[in-house]
């Protein structure tokens, strides 16, 4: 069947099971948008205020659903506006297909209007990218893009389609989607070695990361912990895989992790690292980090093995498949002494850092949301102190319920991401924790949330400063607050109302519960501004490159 | 070869931009390329890239594993220096008059180089061989005054029946 290239794009999206896409129209994608118009019964397109918002939406949509997120943008500035979103998806291994238009093939290389070499620009931040210059290749390239995005370690793929290719005749033959096979590829020796290390160890520690979430392996992870009687700690990307109230779960480790999670890890003699890449924010001093312990590293990406931390045994493969095999073959272990030691560390005062319960502060605000949000609520964040407080205090109960910018640390991620997450979870109430700094970066997307009546509960912790940078300036730069005091006069309630949303300001504790309750009862987006102290700190803190011995627990 | 030097051979899709993907990966992961040569194989869809680089076992492993992740890279192999034939080609131009060429032709014979262009005031030589031989030849010529020099970079093939082959799956993929 002969169809135009632009229609081919839509046909392949439908083949791939895509029903929601995010993007922004423009000159070189007019043909694709014309086809979106004709196929609006099959694919819903969400027009954002800026392509960056669309790219974060596609990323978060992918993380919530486990499907591939799709974003469309025009050539030139449309394409370059995607760059931060694509880099964010790359660093956090999120499956996204970005489709960009480009000027006609004959105009490429002439510095034509809105021409940019987007495949060149995105080469280091995509799993792979394409520019399609032969219409007969279009269908295969698009299918391949989806396969690459979701297979192995997921990630973003960009397909750049010049305008004349969208207008060209192509042959369409329907094809079934290639399913992704998830296996473990290890030999018997590696498994035997891993089992031996586990059986022989006295103090095991399961350290889980984003790979466990991505592989839907929460059940297997907990089974492993039960079987070998091990505590569990998590990287930030790994949060939500284990419910906050699981007695084996110690919380997040690393720079702003829970004291017990880091302390128990330091005392362990065997670290079973699962779907994690040992980021510098998670390990601190890498030499001290692994002192006195052996490491088993389970990951789907062989290049992660030994990249940041030398390991004893590596098991390469899909986390779920590897854990299934381990759980079925390992003998049950019982480690009473270790268990006792872990419990005593859990109960020590340094593990119970609490903020005052009688003021509006990050902890009381997040706990108010804990009280009102249904268990399966998806919670997103921007980047900064509020992100760490959310990671520390929010009660995650369901896998894929925490969407945050981990590797890239993108301020401005939140608004776009929360919209994508909300659409991905069937337009249920979705929470965004943000701050005055991050929110100002992409608050334009409030307009998109209002147009689509998305039920977002946006909780903005306003300390009128760039809090995380201020914290570092306080601790490491002698309180020289260079350019972090914002002195903005934004009236968030009026701002929300100007966008057509509801705004609530909370300055006193007795206003808090009602505000959150009202926000959860409202239709459409609601912004709660909670005013907090400028010098509220994220604690504990292990300084960069430090160890558990350097942990700061008091301000 | 230096003890920390190694040779990588890889088969890649013969498509626009593939060389950028490979060299860009080296740059962004902070690995250095000492030399690089590339050319099409007997299969017109596949090119072969030979890279020499320096580093310890960590660097070697990381380079190979990161390269293996590139979609256009079909196979990567570290070539063992003991069982690999390595060659480089060098073209050298010397702008010297006929009367000052004493000793030059003798060196050409000893090193088994070739004269590929000759006129009254210039000589162009070609030499092929392992890098140490090429280096020695270039050093010998230096006093004559080298006007221009081009090296192709090392290319390498294994001894015996062993070949660099893609597995069936990636060959099919192509």
Compute the nearest-CA separation of B65 from chain A (Å): 5
**Residue pair B104/B94 in contact by the 8 Å Cβ criterion:** yes
Contact call for B24 and A119, based on CB within 8 A: no
Q: At CB < 8 A and 24+ separation, what contacts does B62-66 make?
A: B62/A303, B62/A306, B62/A307, B62/B29, B62/B31, B63/B8, B63/B26, B63/B29, B63/B31, B64/B8, B65/A302, B65/A303, B65/A305, B66/A303, B66/B25, B66/B29
* 3-class state of residue B61 by DSSP: helix
Query: Is residue A540 domain-resident?
Result: no
How far apart (Å, rounded) are the C-alpha atoms in residues B15 and A304?
28
How many folded domains does chain A comprise? 3
**Residue pair A526/A506 in contact by the 8 Å Cβ criterion:** no
Active-site residue A113, yes or no? yes
Q: Is the same domain home to A147 and A21? A: yes
Q: Beta partners for A461?
A: A435, A530
pLDDT at B173: 44
Q: Is the same domain home to A192 and A310? A: yes
Query: Is residue A268 domain-resident?
Result: yes
Q: Is the same domain home to A318 and A376? A: no
Domain containing residue A269: CATH number: 3.40.50.1220
Query: Is residue A536 domain-resident?
Result: no
Strands A249-252 and A313-316: unpaired
Active-site residue A477, yes or no? no
Give the DSSP H/E element, type plus range, for residue A461: strand A456-462
How far apart (Å, rounded) are the C-alpha atoms in residues B115 and B128?
12
Q: What is the DSSP letter of B152?
A: -
Task: Show the tokens assigned to A376.
Answer: 């399966």
How far apart (Å, rounded) are the C-alpha atoms in residues A187 and A194?
11
Number of residues in chain B: 174
CB-nearest to B24 from A124, A128, A307 is A124
SS3 letters across A235-296 = CHHHCCCCCCCCCCEEEECCCCCCHHHHHHHHHCCEEEEECCCCCHHHHCCHHHHCCCCEEE
**A163-198: pLDDT as tens digits:** 999 999 999 999 999 888 877 777 789 999 999 999
Is the omega angle on the peptide bond into residue A455 within 30 degrees of 0, that is, cis?
no
Beta-carbon neighbour count of residue B84 at 10 Å?
A: 16
Q: Is the same domain home to A341 and A394? A: no
How far apart (Å, rounded) are the C-alpha atoms in residues B71 and A520?
46
Classify the C-alpha dihedral A26-A27-A29-A32 as positive or negative. positive
**Residue pair A248/A224 in contact by the 8 Å Cβ criterion:** no
Give the DSSP H/E element, type plus range, for residue A519: helix A509-521
**A13-52: pLDDT as tens digits:** 999 999 999 999 999 999 999 999 999 999 999 999 999 9
Task: Show the tokens assigned to A103.
Answer: 């000027």
Query: Is residue A541 domain-resident?
Result: no
Measured CA angle at A444 (ends A438, A446), to 5 deg: 95
How far apart (Å, rounded) are the C-alpha atoms in residues A460 and A462?
6
Give the model's confidence band at B174: pLDDT under 50 very low, under 70 low, under 90 confident, else very high: very low
Chain A residues touching chain B at CB-CB below 8 Å: 119-120, 123-124, 127-128, 148, 301-303, 305-307
CB-nearest to B24 from A123, A127, A301 is A123
How far apart (Å, rounded) are the C-alpha atoms in residues B125 and B141?
10
Query: Is residue A228 domain-resident?
Result: yes
Q: Is the same domain home to A342 and A367? A: no
The region that residue B153 occupies, defined by phi over 0 for left and psi between -120 and 50 for alpha, beta otherwise, is: left
Query: Is residue A550 domain-resident?
Result: no
* 3-class state of residue A62 by DSSP: helix
pLDDT at A555: 76
Active-site residue A439, yes or no? no
Query: Is residue A537 domain-resident?
Result: no
**A383-416: pLDDT as tens digits:** 999 999 999 999 999 999 999 999 999 999 999 9
SS3 letters across A164-226 = HHHHCEEECCCCCCCCCCCCECCCHHHHHHHHHHHHHCCCEEEEECHHHHHCCCHHHHHHHHH
Give the DSSP H/E element, type plus range, for residue A527: strand A526-531
Number of residues in chain A: 555
Give the DSSP H/E element, type plus range, for residue B9: strand B5-13
* Chain B residue numbers touching A302 (CB-CB < 8 A): 65, 68
**B56-85: pLDDT as tens digits:** 999 999 999 999 999 999 999 999 989 999
How far apart (Å, rounded) are the C-alpha atoms in residues A205 and A341?
13
Domain containing residue A507: CATH number: 3.40.50.970
**Which structural domain range is residue A482 located in?**
362-531
**B116-131: pLDDT as tens digits:** 999 999 999 999 999 9
Q: Is the same domain home to A151 and A223? A: no
Give the model's confidence band at B168: pLDDT under 50 very low, under 70 low, under 90 confident, else very high: low
The pLDDT tens digits along chain A (555 residues) read 999 999 999 999 999 999 999 999 999 999 999 999 999 999 999 999 999 999 999 999 999 999 999 999 999 999 999 999 999 999 999 999 999 999 999 999 999 999 999 999 999 999 999 999 999 999 999 999 999 999 999 999 999 999 999 999 999 999 999 888 877 777 789 999 999 999 999 999 999 999 999 999 999 999 999 999 999 999 999 999 999 999 999 999 999 999 999 999 999 999 999 999 999 999 999 999 999 999 999 999 999 999 999 999 999 999 999 999 999 999 998 999 999 999 999 999 999 888 999 999 999 999 999 999 999 999 999 999 999 999 999 999 999 999 999 999 999 999 999 999 999 999 999 999 999 999 999 999 999 999 999 999 999 999 999 999 999 999 999 999 999 998 899 999 999 999 999 999 999 999 999 999 999 999 999 999 999 999 999 999 999 999 999 999 987
Q: Is the same domain home to A393 and A311? A: no
Question: Chain B residue closest to A132 (CA)?
Answer: B16
Q: Is the same domain home to A329 and A407? A: no
Strands B84-94 and B122-129: antiparallel
Q: Is the same domain home to A233 and A339? A: yes
Q: Is the same domain home to A155 and A202? A: no
How far apart (Å, rounded) are the C-alpha atoms in residues A553 and A351?
9
How far apart (Å, rounded) are the C-alpha atoms in residues A199 and A124?
41
Catalytic residue (one of A7, A16, A35, A51): A51
Please report where in the chains the tokens 């065997």 appear, as a residue: A270
How far apart (Å, rounded) are the C-alpha atoms in residues A351 and A365?
20
How far apart (Å, rounded) are the C-alpha atoms in residues A133 and A161?
8
Active-site residue A114, yes or no? yes
Report which of A321, A425, A331 is spatially closest to residue A57, judged by C-alpha positions: A425
Q: Is the same domain home to A335 and A389? A: no
Query: Is residue A543 domain-resident?
Result: no
Compute the nearest-CA separation of A130 from chain B (Å): 10
Phi then psi for A82, rounded to 5 degrees?
-80, -15
* Chain A residue numbers touching B72 (CB-CB < 8 A): 128
């Amino acid at each position: 069947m002969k169809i135009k290239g632009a229609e081919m794009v839509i046909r392949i999206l439908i083949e791939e099971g895509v029903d929601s896409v995010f993007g922004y129209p423009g000159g070189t994608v007019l043909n694709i948008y014309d086809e979106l118009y004709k196929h609006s019964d099959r694919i819903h397109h969400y027009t954002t205020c800026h392509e960056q918002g669309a790219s974060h939406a596609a990323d978060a949509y992918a993380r919530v659903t486990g499907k591939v997120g799709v974003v469309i943008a025009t050539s030139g500035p449309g394409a370059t506006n995607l760059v931060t979103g694509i880099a964010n998806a790359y660093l956090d291994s999120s499956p996204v297909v970005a489709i960009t238009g480009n000027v006609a093939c004959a105009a490429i290389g002439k510095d034509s209007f809105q021409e940019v070499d987007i495949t060149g620009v995105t080469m280091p931040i995509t799993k792979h990218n394409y520019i399609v210059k032969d219409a007969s290749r279009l269908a295969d390239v698009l299918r391949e893009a989806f396969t690459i995005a979701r297979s192995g370690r997921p990630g973003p793929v960009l397909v750049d389609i010049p305008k004349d290719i969208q207008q060209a005749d192509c042959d369409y033959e329907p094809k079934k989607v290639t399913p992704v096979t998830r296996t473990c590829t290890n030999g018997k020796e590696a498994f035997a070695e891993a089992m031996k290390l586990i059986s022989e160890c006295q103090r095991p520690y399961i350290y889980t990361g984003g790979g466990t979430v991505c592989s839907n392996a929460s059940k297997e992870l907990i089974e492993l912990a039960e079987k070998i009687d091990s505590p569990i700690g998590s990287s930030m990307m790994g949060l939500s895989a284990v419910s906050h109230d699981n007695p084996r779960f110690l919380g997040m480790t690393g720079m702003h992790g829970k004291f017990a999670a880091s302390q128990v890890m330091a005392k362990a003699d065997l670290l079973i690292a699962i779907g994690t890449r040992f980021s510098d924010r998670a390990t601190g001093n890498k030499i001290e980090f692994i002192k006195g312990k052996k490491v088993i590293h389970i990951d789907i990406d062989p290049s992660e093995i030994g990249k940041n931390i030398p390991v004893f045994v590596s098991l390469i493969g899909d986390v779920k498949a590897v854990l299934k095999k381990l759980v079925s073959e390992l003998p049950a272990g019982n480690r009473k002494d270790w268990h006792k030691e872990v419990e005593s560390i859990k109960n020590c005062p340094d593990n119970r850092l609490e903020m005052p319960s009688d003021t509006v502060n990050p902890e009381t605000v997040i706990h108010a949301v804990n009280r009102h949000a249904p268990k399966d609520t998806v919670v997103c964040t921007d980047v900064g102190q509020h992100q760490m407080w959310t990671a520390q205090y929010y009660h995650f109960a369901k896998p894929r319920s925490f969407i945050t910018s981990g590797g890239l640390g993108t301020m401005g991620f939140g608004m776009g991401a929360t919209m994508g997450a909300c659409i991905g979870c069937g337009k249920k109430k979705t929470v965004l924790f943000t701050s005055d700094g991050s929110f100002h970066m992409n608050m334009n997307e409030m307009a998109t949330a209002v147009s689509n009546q998305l039920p977002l509960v946006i909780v903005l912790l306003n300390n009128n400063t760039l809090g995380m940078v201020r914290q570092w300036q306080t601790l490491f730069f002698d309180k020289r607050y260079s350019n972090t005091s914002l002195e903005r006069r934004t009236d968030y309630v009026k701002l929300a109302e100007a966008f057509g949303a509801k705004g609530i300001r909370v300055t006193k504790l007795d206003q808090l519960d009602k505000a959150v309750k009202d926000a959860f009862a409202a239709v459409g987006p609601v912004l709660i501004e909670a005013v907090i102290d400028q010098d509220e700190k994220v604690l504990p803190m292990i300084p960069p490159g430090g160890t558990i011995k350097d942990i700061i627990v008091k301000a | 070869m230096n003890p920390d030097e190694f040779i990588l051979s890889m088969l890649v899709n013969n498509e626009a931009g593939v060389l950028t993907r490979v060299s860009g990966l080296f740059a962004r992961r902070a690995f250095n390329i000492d030399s690089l040569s590339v050319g099409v194989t007997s299969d017109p869809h596949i090119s072969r890239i030979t890279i020499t680089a320096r580093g310890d076992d960590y660097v070697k492993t990381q380079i190979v594993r990161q390269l293996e992740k590139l979609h256009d890279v079909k196979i990567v192999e570290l070539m063992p220096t003991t069982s690999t034939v390595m060659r480089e080609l060098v073209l050298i131009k010397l702008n010297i008059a006929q009367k000052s060429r004493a000793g030059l032709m003798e060196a050409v014979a000893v090193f088994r180089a070739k004269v590929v262009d000759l006129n009254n005031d210039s000589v162009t030589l070609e030499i092929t061989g392992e890098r140490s031989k090429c280096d020695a030849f270039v050093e010998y010529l230096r006093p004559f005054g080298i006007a221009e020099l081009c090296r192709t970079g090392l290319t390498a093939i294994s001894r015996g029946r062993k070949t660099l082959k893609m597995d069936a799956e990636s060959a099919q993929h192509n």
